[in-house]
Structure 1
Amino acid sequence: MKNTAYDVPLFRGLCEFSAMNPISFHVPGHKNGTVFPDFAKATFGPLLSIDFTELTGLDDLHAPTEIIKEAQTRAATFFHADETFFLVGGTTVGNLATILAMCRPGEKLIVQRNSHKSIANGLELAGATPIFLNPMFDSQTDRYIAPSIEGLAKALQAHPDAKGVVLTYPDYYGKTYALKELIDCAHAYQIPVLVDEAHGVHFALGDPFPPSALQLGADVVVQSAHKMAPAMTMASWLHIKSDFVTRDQIQYYLSMLQSSSPSYPLLASLDIARAFLASLTKQDLTRILQSAQQLKEDFAESTHWFVEETSDPLKITLTMKQGHSGYEVAALFEQEGIYPELASHKHILFIHGLGELMRLDEVKLALKRIGQRLKISSNHATIDISGLFQKSYAQLAYTYNEMRMLPTKRMRLEQSIDYIAAEAIIPYPPGIPLVLKGERITNRHAKLVEALIKKGATFQNQYIQTGILVFEEK
């Protein structure tokens, strides 16, 4: 990689300030790392030395004019955006701020149904009226994928007064779709498009990766720098490149939702991650892709799953055969000290990342042991997740304002059929609601949730095994 030591203005500024050995009469309370328990100092110490606050020369995230501004400008240049904001609350805070900026209470947003829970939370905070684009089901991968262009066209024809369209690209597994067609369809109505590109930050590197959402014409794109680039967890970017969206409202809501004391190590990691991406050469990418391909070939030797072809060569998805669940097989990998990104009823996702794997021999040996254990384990009934959506788009049973006023009760899942959910039912990961707050719970939902729990799925609902919160009247 090229030398990037002088291409990180924010990180460099923090290091230079730390090197002056300043005397701290300000927050944070660890006083540049001097007030910290000895047992943890060796681990945290280097980061604490640059964990500052908004001191003279260190700029302010909420009104940047110096090193933060310079770092954000360099990021915008690299990603070909009109403007880039640094986020310390993950892609979540970017999604929330953009949705709040897009619409006023009661106004409509057209939203891809299989989106991250942060999108649903943003809709509720905004008091929006969501029109949900239901995804198509791909029987080959046994997953719900993107909405159809026909579905979006129908929704726009029925709701031309929508204030925006919210899409997810790529999906968690690295699968892309004809995003430009959907963007062009929305733009024909002068409607802006927000894209949650949490898993596609590396698409900015170009071939052999798919085109980025910004390249395809999206107005606002939010990316998790920490997912595929070497930024710290919770560090993300928000990019604007639009004739339909202005920065002022988005910046206003970012200043409202983000901490008034943002983490400088997180911000610096965004500066470093951008420099890392910009420094990657063709030779670097060739070595990375060869490593990912070798890993795929090693996985493909098993008779217990097949390796799915995806748009993103760094995402490796195993689809189970012979009745084994993804949860079951993922547990075997974890027993071998190998931790995948997620498991589902039928899949396991491995993220290779932007580096060469150095322990492939260990992985190959673990694969042999896992294969031997699967040969002697009994097969299990598979779960059918198809048939959840009957229409191309749909609305909630109540508005968010109505839901605030309605009494609720907790019921056992099998008794909640035909009631309206007062909380979302969210398998995590991937964090995409199976049932949205405001959706009617069907027998199909109840049986699917019960089957997933039996298979080992985890849900972000504390009491889901004892009951689900519903509105009192059907």
Structure 2
Amino acid sequence: MRRIDHTKTPLFTALKEHMNKDVIPFHVPGHKYGRGNPELLEFFGENTMKADVNGMEDLDNACNPISVIKEAEEYVADAFGAEEAFFLVNGTTSGIQAMIMSAVRPGEQIIIPRNAHKSTIGGIILAGAIPIYVPSEINEELGIAMGVSAAVIKKALEVHDFAKAVFVVNPTYYGAVSDLKTIVRSAHRNGTAVLVDEAHGAHMHFHDEFPLTAMEVGADMSACSTHKTGGSLTQSSVLLLRGNMIEKEVVKQVLNLNFTTSASYLLMASIDTSRKLMATKGEEMLTETLELCRYARKRLNEIEGVYAFGRELVGTPGCFDFDETKLGIHVRRLGITGFEMEKILRKEYNIQVEMSDIYNIMAIITLGDRKEDIDKLVDAVADIAKKRGVHEVKNIVYMPDMPELIVSPRDAFYSPKRAVPLEECAGHICAEMIMAYPPGIPIICPGERLTKDIIDYVKLLKEEECQMQGTADPYVNYIRVLGRSVGE
């Protein structure tokens, strides 16, 4: 196998060479290097508009790459320790759905943790798969879902030994990492493929102080959001494959079902350059990133009433390892919710965090962060804490129990539906997803029975003005359930 020179960028270089040729464009996109949209040209600049081109001989074609895109994908596979890699321009959502559709056929089972992203449910619906949900561990003090226990996965494989795939999140949104190596071993002994959502772990392969990745422990496929933590443009991701449990040709066929025939060269070139960056300078840059993370936690934990959780969680249920770039800040003792904290930071201090929940806010620290920005965040949290003071916390909100699956997600998706007021939904079978976004983890999925606890939890999130998604009613006053309306 030829040695790859990661200082090179096959696709990005070809794109720049194409731009320098000043080819007269009688092809889409219709803005023709921006001349057809002067306002956009003025704002984004000539290079951006000239780089927004379509597939042609010197630039290859993403749907069937044979030259520079194929070469760039080979570079990605080598950098991430995979055997094959595929560019994605519809985010890791498309990669997760492609993994499930490649590994599981209609009617076959997939073992999946309850805290999986909504795209996983979409993949299950598209594949016609039957989900076997397993509980994630819950840290009740922090009020967050952690990883899934390897023992829980092993037990599920014993009960459902015909399951075609196990799905794992590595790491979770909050940074918790499951014992992925043990999970892979258990699954492979059963002849079951392992699919890994590494949307928030694209950086982990490039520094030894981060948890092991899916490819490093022998998982079959993973999807990585290079745009989240690897430096590429929003919506760009990669799908990684190794081993022979899932055929490359099957993956390509699945991707071509929903892959755009007009893949953005801006997005693909950004993957090419971010791969170069991570492969050549990733270790050095991530060392600085880790220093910032540790500096931030140290300062935050000196603030009374604030807890920035981190590696001390390793060894607790559901946390085999921890990704330190996920800066979770627990604010319950300040007498405010994470939702309120996020709003205060944005409106009064001009700081936007990644997400919030009832008790926490979460900031993601990446290659692009600076010490002065960390100081502004810490100083803002300290100022808020000083104004709020420390409160004795009595009421703890627990997440509702995992609901009962009555109908397969696909059957629920295609069944007749009717809208029912939220207060009257208990006992009905849900026909849509309900989730807080971010992180996009469903509270309930299609085919599951609604309970009073779930309804009360949704009401609480609404009261806190949390952003809710997944329902036909944008205000979540009505939920679609299975069954026909009167008169149908």
Structure 1-normalised TM-score? 0.93
Matches within 5 A, 1:340-359: 340-359=353-372
> Equivalent residue for 2:219?
218
Between stretches 195-204 and 27-36, larger displacement belongs to: 27-36
Q: Is the CA contact 1:426–1:435 (under 8 Å) kept in the aligned structure 2?
A: yes
Query: In structure 1, what residue type is equivalent to 2:444?
Result: V
Query: In structure 2, what residue type is equivalent to 1:357?
Result: R
Query: In structure 1, what residue type is equivalent to 2:27?
Result: H
> Equivalent residue for 2:63?
62
Q: Is the CA contact 1:226–1:236 (under 8 Å) kept in the aligned structure 2?
A: yes
Deviations 1:415-455 (A, max 9, x none): 10011101111111100000111111111101111112112
In the alignment, structure 1 residue 312 sits paired with structure 2 residue 326: no
> Equivalent residue for 1:457?
466
In the aligned structure 1, how far is the partner of 2:308 from the partner of 2:378? 15
Task: Give 3-state SS (helix, strand or coil) of 1:418's partner.
Answer: coil
Q: Is the CA contact 1:131–1:395 (under 8 Å) kept in the aligned structure 2?
A: no
Task: Give 3-state SS (helix, strand or coil) of 2:217's partner.
Answer: coil
1:82 CA drift (Å):
0.7
In the aligned structure 2, how far is the partner of 1:175 from the partner of 1:401? 30
In the alignment, structure 1 residue 337 sits paired with structure 2 residue 363: no
> Equivalent residue for 1:325?
337
1:404 CA drift (Å):
5.0
Distance 1:158 1:267, change over 3 A: same
> Equivalent residue for 1:362?
376
Q: Which structure 1 segments of 5+ residues have no match?
A: none
Task: Give 3-state SS (helix, strand or coil) of 2:468's partner.
Answer: coil
- RMSD of equivalent CA atoms: 2.1
1:117 CA drift (Å):
0.3
- Superposition misfits of 4+ residues, deviation over 6 angstroms: 378-381
In the alignment, structure 1 residue 269 sits paired with structure 2 residue 283: no
> Equivalent residue for 2:318?
none
Query: In structure 2, what residue type is equivalent to 1:312?
Result: D
Distance 1:396 1:44, change over 3 A: farther
Q: Is the CA contact 2:332–2:393 (under 8 Å) kept in the aligned structure 1?
A: no
2:385 to 364, 371, 386: 371
In the aligned structure 2, how far is the partner of 1:156 from the partner of 1:212? 22
In the aligned structure 2, how far is the partner of 1:395 from the partner of 1:161? 21
Distance 1:149 1:380, change over 3 A: closer
1:397 CA drift (Å):
0.3
Deviations 1:18-46 (A, max 9, x none): 01111111111111222222365232532
1:79 CA drift (Å):
0.9
Deviations 1:246-305 (A, max 9, x none): 111111111111111100000000001101101226543333222222222332232232
Q: Is the CA contact 2:405–2:447 (under 8 Å) kept in the aligned structure 1?
A: yes
> Equivalent residue for 1:472?
483
Distance 1:45 1:146, change over 3 A: same
> Equivalent residue for 2:83?
82
Q: Is the CA contact 1:345–1:383 (under 8 Å) kept in the aligned structure 2?
A: no
In the aligned structure 2, how far is the partner of 1:71 from the partner of 1:334? 39
1:181 CA drift (Å):
1.1
Q: Which structure 2 segments of 5+ residues have no match?
A: 312-321
Percent identical across equivalent pairs? 31
Distance 1:276 1:405, change over 3 A: closer
Matches within 5 A, 1:271-290: 271-280=272-281, 282-290=283-291
Task: Give 3-state SS (helix, strand or coil) of 2:112's partner.
Answer: strand
Task: Give 3-state SS (helix, strand or coil) of 1:196's partner.
Answer: strand
Deviations 1:55-107 (A, max 9, x none): 12110111111110111011111111110000001110011112112122111
In the aligned structure 2, how far is the partner of 1:160 from the partner of 1:126? 19
> Equivalent residue for 1:19?
20
Between stretches 150-159 and 75-84, larger displacement belongs to: 150-159
